Amino acid sequence: MSHQEAPQINDKREIFGWAMYDWANSAFSTTIGTVFLAPYVADLARSAAEAAGTETVLFLGIPIAPDSFLPYMISLSVLLQVLFLPILGAIADYSHLRKEMMRTFATIGAVATILLFFVTGSLWWLGGVLYVLANLAFGAAIVFYNAYLPDIASEDERDRVSSYGWAMGYLGGGILLALNLAFFTFSESLGVPKALAIRINLASAGVWWLGFSFFTWKRLRSRTAPRALPQEESYVKVGFRQLGKTLKEIKNFPETLRFLIAYFLYNDGIQTVIAVSSTFAAAPLIQGGLALETSTLISVILMIQFMAFGGALLWGKLANWMGAKQSIILSLVIWSGVVTFAYAGLRGENAT
């Protein structure tokens, strides 16, 4: 280490490498999480149920409605993250292996995503299993990704650098999604069946994630010296002890407590809107939806993705100008207005 140049803070080359990981892994969020996997797995499970003459499929002996299978697996992956991420947080705090752990989990997640190509027919259940593995690895890698921010950006630059990372994610995820949607739309004219086109698109997200991550591994440098664990302690014990200590001491920091409660509420609302928006847009009018044509829905999804790129950059500048708290409040006011309009002004035939 003595022969290497000491890592510098606010290094543009390193910050670009860090942000490129958001560009890389956002392919999983858009192509897998937002558009293709859920309806594809539901269709496979529905076909399996029909072939068996039932309305449910069996997973580990448990009867599950085909449309509910993947949402259950998503919930399972979130539960596993709750159990494992505190341990990974301790590793991020105490070890010098941030980059190595981030690379390991990113590789696991990307490979699991690539393997979604093999989800066909009676292997509908494999889609859920691979999603749990990929999403768990996705969240684990993000722990180490976020832990790098204080190391690569000074305090006065962190809002801007964080927004830059978000923007790169929206752009990268949006570009691949645009390519995948175009391929899916014109696949049959290219002689590719729709089902195969979906499988290719699913695998492409893993290839994109893994391939562009190499920019991060090339430019992001290891810099945190390891801290000694307390005697006779493990990362598991330290991780959950730190979590317990934080929960006990949070009452001494009322502003932080209020923010965490508010964040839990507004973020849950935002994620719910994102999760159901495409279903609402595509649902028939008689079911209270907007009955948008597939081509229109694709255009809307892409427009939102690329507008989010500009929005992330703009909000980074706003945070520097008006402060992080005020910029969050402004964005939530706009969000609330849009959602209120959607509820009050965008109604299907049976909405009341």
Q: Are 167 and 313 in contact (CB under 8 A)?
A: yes
Q: Are 75 and 96 in contact (CB under 8 A)?
A: no
Residue whose entry in the numeric block shows the structure tokens 């832990």? 147
Asked if 47 and 105 sit in the same domain, the reply is: yes
Length of the chain: 352
Q: Print the domain residue range for 132.
A: 8-225+235-252
| Residue 2: inside a domain | no
| Residue 136: inside a domain | yes
Asked if 193 and 336 sit in the same domain, the reply is: no
What 3-state DSSP class applies to 222? coil
| Residue 194: inside a domain | yes
Asked if 212 and 282 sit in the same domain, the reply is: no
Asked if 284 and 337 sit in the same domain, the reply is: yes
| Residue 172: inside a domain | yes
- CA pair distance 39, 32, nearest whole angstrom: 10
Q: What is the pLDDT along the chain (352 residues), one digit of tens a residue?
A: 444 455 678 999 999 999 999 999 999 988 998 788 888 898 899 999 999 999 999 999 999 988 888 888 888 887 888 777 777 776 766 667 788 889 999 999 999 999 999 999 999 999 999 999 999 999 999 988 998 898 899 988 988 899 899 899 999 999 999 999 999 989 999 999 999 999 999 999 999 999 999 999 999 988 656 555 566 666 566 666 766 777 777 778 888 788 878 877 787 677 667 666 765 676 555 556 667 776 677 778 788 878 888 887 887 788 778 887 888 889 899 989 988 888 887 765 444 4
Asked if 194 and 280 sit in the same domain, the reply is: no
At 120, list the tokens. 């066909």
Nearest to 128 by CA among 119, 137, 138, 141: 119
- Supply the DSSP string of 317-344, one letter for each residue: HHHHHH-HHHHHHHHHHHHHHHHHHHHH
CATH number at residue 59: 1.20.1250.20
Asked if 292 and 214 sit in the same domain, the reply is: no
Nearest to 135 by CA among 84, 183, 74, 86: 74
Dihedral pair phi/psi, residue 260, rounded to 5°: -65, -40
Measure Cα distances from 115 to 92, 248, 279 in Å: 28, 42, 26
- Supply the DSSP string of 122-174, one letter for each residue: GGHHHHHHHHHHHHHHHHHHHHHHHHTHHHHS-GGGHHHHHHHHHHHHHHHHH
Which residues have a Cβ under 8 Å from the Cβ of 185 and sit 6 or more positions away? 295, 298
- CA pair distance 77, 137, nearest whole angstrom: 10
| Residue 230: inside a domain | no
Q: What amino acid is encoded at 259 in this protein?
A: F
Asked if 240 and 265 sit in the same domain, the reply is: no
Nearest to 186 by CA among 196, 174, 194: 194
Asked if 289 and 257 sit in the same domain, the reply is: yes
pTM: 0.80
At 135, list the tokens. 């999403």
Asked if 138 and 196 sit in the same domain, the reply is: yes
Asked if 16 and 143 sit in the same domain, the reply is: yes
Residue spans of alpha helices (H) in 153-253: 158-186, 194-219, 235-249
At 180, list the tokens. 């995948």
Q: What amino acid is encoded at 96 in this protein?
A: H
| Residue 259: inside a domain | yes
- CA pair distance 123, 117, nearest whole angstrom: 11
| Residue 46: inside a domain | yes
Number of domains in the chain: 2
Dihedral pair phi/psi, residue 59, rounded to 5°: -125, 115
Q: Which of 252, 287, 306 is the last residue of a domain?
A: 252
Asked if 130 and 205 sit in the same domain, the reply is: yes
Asked if 118 and 144 sit in the same domain, the reply is: yes
At 206, list the tokens. 């893993």
> What pLDDT is recorded for position 297?
73
> What pLDDT is recorded for position 225?
60
| Residue 1: inside a domain | no
